[in-house]
C-alpha cells in the first residue's frame, strides 16, 4: 500500500522536474529512486507505518541547476529554505568550531533557548536558513518586536517554559505508543508482551505532557495579551 506522504513527495519531485532546467527529469528520477530506497529500508525495519505518515517533503535550493532555479523562481515561487552542505557548515562554523567545540560559533552566540525543543528549532533554522526576502524580513520584524514591545511578555513566557520537559519528544513517544489503526510499533505494539507495567509508564508520560502543555499555554497567553492590547 502506498503512503499518501510518499505520493505527495513524488508529485513535488515531478513538479520540480517540469519547472527546472534540462537536468530536471534526470534529477527527478534520481530523487524518486532515493526516496524508494528510503521507504524500502523503513519497511524492512517495520518503521514505515510509524514514520511515513508524519513525513514532510519539500524542495531545497542548492545542488545541480541551482543557478538556473534562482533565475526561474521569483518571490513566493522560490524554495523557502536554503540548502547548506557539510563544507559550508564547517567553514562558516555555524554549529561547531575547528576544534570540535561550540565556542565562537553562531549557535553559541544565538542560543538563549529555555527548552530543548526550542534549541533544536534554532539549530534547524541555522542549518536551513530562509531564502525568500519576504520571509527573512518578517522574521526580522518578529525578533525586533520580541526585543522591544513584547520584551516583558517574552520574559514571562521564558519563565513559564523554564521547567517544561522535552515536550516534542514526549509527544512523539505518546504518538508512537498510540500508533495508527493497528496500535503502537516496536515495544508498544499490541502483540508485544512485556514483563513490566507499560500502561503506568504511558500514563505518567501523558500526565507530564498535559502538565507541561499548561505551561506552554500560559506562555502563549502572556504574548497574546500584549498583542491584543496593541491591536486595541
Question: Which of 117, 121, 156 shows the shortest CA–CA distance to 139?
Answer: 121
Measured from the Cβ of residue 148, the count of other Cβ atoms closer than 10 Å reads 8
Within-domain flag for 98: no
79, 100, 128 - which closes a domain:
79
Asked if residues 82 and 128 have their Cβ atoms less than 8 Å apart, the reply is yes
Within-domain flag for 115: no
Within-domain flag for 125: no
Asked if residues 207 and 69 have their Cβ atoms less than 8 Å apart, the reply is no
Using 50, 70 and 90 to split pLDDT, how confident is the model at 9? low
- Give Rg (Cα) of the chain: 22
Highest mean pLDDT among 25-29, 140-144, 165-169, 210-214: 140-144
Grid cell of 56 as nine digits: 514532510
Place of cell 563544507: 87
Asked if residues 59 and 10 have their Cβ atoms less than 8 Å apart, the reply is no
28, 52, 79 - which closes a domain:
79
Question: Which of 114, 112, 113, 94 shows the shortest CA–CA distance to 102?
Answer: 94
Spatial distance between the Cα atoms of 124 and 168, rounded to a whole number of angstroms = 14
Within-domain flag for 201: yes
For 147, 206, 209, the CA distances from 86, given in Å and listed in that order, are: 32, 38, 35
- Looking at per-residue pLDDT, the higher value among 110 and 167 belongs to 110
pLDDT in tens, 188-204: 555 555 555 556 676 77
26, 61, 79 - which closes a domain:
79
Asked if residues 180 and 49 have their Cβ atoms less than 8 Å apart, the reply is yes
Lowest mean pLDDT among 17-21, 57-61, 174-178, 208-212: 17-21
Place of cell 519576504: 134
Highest mean pLDDT among 75-89, 144-158, 202-216: 144-158
Question: Nearest 5°: phi and psi at 60?
Answer: -115, 145
Asked if residues 61 and 78 have their Cβ atoms less than 8 Å apart, the reply is yes
pLDDT in tens, 46-94: 888 777 877 777 766 655 444 445 444 455 566 788 888 889 999 999 9
pLDDT at residue number 198: 59
Q: Report the sign of the C-alpha dihedral through residues 97, 98, 104, 105, in that order.
A: negative
Within-domain flag for 96: no
Spatial distance between the Cα atoms of 106 and 111, rounded to a whole number of angstroms = 8
Within-domain flag for 116: no
Within-domain flag for 100: no
SS3 string, 127-183, reads HCCECCHHHHHHHHHHHHHHHCCCHHHHHHHHHHHCCCCCHHHHHHHHHHHHCECCE
Identify the domain containing residue 167 by its residue range: 151-232
pLDDT at residue number 71: 45
Within-domain flag for 87: no
The total domain count for the chain is: 2
Burial status of residue 77 (CB atoms within 10 A of its CB: 0-12, 13-18, 19 or more)? exposed
Amino acid at each position: 500500500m502506498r503512503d499518501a506522504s510518499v505520493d505527495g513527495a513524488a508529485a513535488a519531485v515531478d513538479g520540480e522536474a517540469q519547472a527546472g532546467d534540462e537536468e530536471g527529469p534526470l534529477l527527478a528520477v534520481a530523487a524518486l529512486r532515493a526516496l524508494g530506497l528510503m521507504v524500502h529500508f523503513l519497511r524492512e525495519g517495520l518503521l514505515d507505518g510509524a514514520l511515513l505518515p508524519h513525513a514532510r517533503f519539500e524542495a531545497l535550493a542548492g545542488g545541480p541547476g541551482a543557478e538556473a532555479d534562482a533565475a526561474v523562481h521569483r518571490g513566493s515561487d522560490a524554495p523557502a529554505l536554503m540548502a547548506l552542505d557539510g563544507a559550508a557548515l564547517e567553514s562558516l562554523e555555524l554549529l561547531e568550531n575547528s576544534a570540535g567545540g561550540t565556542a565562537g560559533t553562531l549557535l553559541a552566540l544565538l542560543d538563549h533557548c529555555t527548552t530543548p525543543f526550542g534549541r533544536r528549532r534554532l539549530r534547524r533554522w541555522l542549518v536551513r536558513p530562509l531564502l525568500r526576502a519576504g520571509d527573512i524580513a518578517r522574521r526580522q520584524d518578529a525578533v525586533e518586536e520580541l526585543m522591544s514591545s513584547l520584551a516583558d511578555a517574552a520574559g514571562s513566557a521564558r519563565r513559564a517554559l523554564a521547567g517544561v520537559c522535552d515536550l516534542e519528544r514526549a509527544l512523539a513517544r505518546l504518538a508512537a505508543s498510540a500508533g495508527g489503526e493497528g496500535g503502537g510499533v516496536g515495544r508498544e505494539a499490541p502483540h508485544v508482551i512485556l514483563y513490566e507495567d507499560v500502561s503506568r509508564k504511558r500514563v505518567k508520560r501523558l500526565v507530564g505532557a498535559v502538565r507541561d502543555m499548561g505551561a506552554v499555554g500560559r506562555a502563549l497567553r502572556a504574548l497574546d495579551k500584549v498583542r491584543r492590547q496593541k491591536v486595541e
